[in-house]
Amino acid sequence: MENLTMDNITVENGTSVQDNQTLGLWTDYTVEYKVVSVFLVSLICGVGIVGNVMVILVVLTTKHMRTPTNCYLVSLAVADLMVLTAAGLPNITDALCGEWVFGFAGCLGITYFQYLGINASSCSITAFTVERYIAICHPIKAQFLCTLSRAKKIIMLVWALTSVYCVMWLFLSDTTKLVYDNVVLLSCGYKVSRSYYLPIYFTDFAVFYVLPLMLATVMYGLIARILFLNPLPSDPKDSTKKWKKETSQGGRMISTNSSSSTTAASRRQVTKMLAVVVILFALLWMPYRTLVVVNSFLDKAYLDTWFLLFCRLCIYLNSAINPVIYNAMSQKFRAAFKKLCHCGPQRMEKPASYSVALTYSVIKETSNGESPDHFTTEMDDELNTPTDQYLPTSILPSAKKMPFEEPSLSGSDVKA
């Protein structure tokens, strides 16, 4: 693959170019690349689209799943769906056709939704990280800050800001005809010079990758100190371990010590699951982000076809794997997924009335009496303990790339 700059290509739209030369002989992708690319991208994107749709459905259709944390996970699922459809699916057409097939409007729209999905997913991860930190390290403040209505407002704000921020890509991308000796191909690419878009890429890299990971590292460190080094310091029951207060509900006798251990287990389980989401986000985005940064300092960018495919597959996998994590680490999500897949009426037991409010235990002994807005942010439905058994249930798609451009997630690169 030969990497060309905008200065030595010839286009058919009347734009003047240096030397007035063609791009040489164009060669298509190899059969091996097409087979591997189409198969893996189709598999990952197919699984990811189904999984993220299921996450959205189970939260929206199951009342006890509508917690603040789950709202952020729905936001993340919507963003991941955008990435899989706007970046993953065009990669398939690029591998099969070798050029951009969606026209000018498709170039603008797909580019916009790629960036919107990527940036919104990063902001959603940051939002539930902050929510976890407040809920566990500042439980009294969490009673007023970590509510369902506030989570919805934050999500709306995140999507509004990222939508406005990504509007610039509607003006920074365009279709171009690339003239080779043997063929003319349509490309969806950038229409600004390197000096203009490199600052944008580094801003994205800092704001939507580096800063969220630094914030997550600090906050999950503080959360770990509370959950794993101290025995529920925010729970008033710790000061009453010498005696047991027996509460009779529904003919059962429940110990407060048992409820305290249940609270601790739930908090740890939810935090572990969300921490895994953050860690995978960091690891799976690292190859692509690193490649973009390195290529920004190279005269001739490194755009090996197979390595680019690997980087893109990591991005698609990051957007597809979250529902798998929820199913593996959350009993309630797993039960809800099974119920959704069976597509039949199933008996759903209500959580027992003695369930302890996991986040606000400093204020209230139980979740009874809470206003509808004050759902527990600990996702007590996420608990994977015996006491919970009663609960069932860019990035630009360009057909031909320039050496100084960020490689496309949708799989379009220069081939010569």
Summarize the confidence of residues 32-58 as an average pLDDT: 95
**Among the ranges 37-46, 181-190, 382-391, which has the highest mean pLDDT value?**
37-46
Domain CATH number, residue 99: 1.20.1070.10
Range of the domain at 302: 6-240+253-388
Is position 412 within any domain? no
| The total number of structural domains that make up the chain | 1
Which residue has tokens 């439980």? 139
pLDDT of residue 64: 87
Q: Which residue has the higher pLDDT, 320 or 228?
A: 320
Q: Which residues contact 220 (CB under 8 A, 6 or more apart)?
A: 129, 132, 133, 271, 275, 278
pLDDT of residue 412: 54
Adjacent-strand bridge partners of 177: 186
pLDDT of residue 5: 27
Residue 402 has pLDDT above 70, yes or no: no
Would you call 298 helix, strand, or coil by DSSP? coil
Q: Residues of 63-93 as b/e, b for ≥16 C-beta within 10 angstroms?
A: ebbbbbbbbbbbbbbbbbbbbbbbbbbbbbb
pLDDT of residue 190: 83
**Of 320, 312, 318, 319, whose CA–CA distance to 409 is shortest?**
312
pTM of structure: 0.76
Would you call 246 helix, strand, or coil by DSSP? strand
Summarize the confidence of residues 391-408 as an average pLDDT: 45
pLDDT of residue 405: 56
| AA letter at 278 | V
Is position 399 within any domain? no
The token duo for 161 is 């800001």
Is position 183 within any domain? yes
pLDDT of residue 218: 95
Give the helix ranges, DSSP H, for 147-255.
Answer: 148-165, 169-172, 194-205, 211-224
Is position 229 within any domain? yes
pLDDT of residue 245: 43
Is position 394 within any domain? no
Task: Flag the least confident range among 51-60, 168-177, 231-240, 262-271.
Answer: 231-240
Which residue has tokens 């995140």? 158
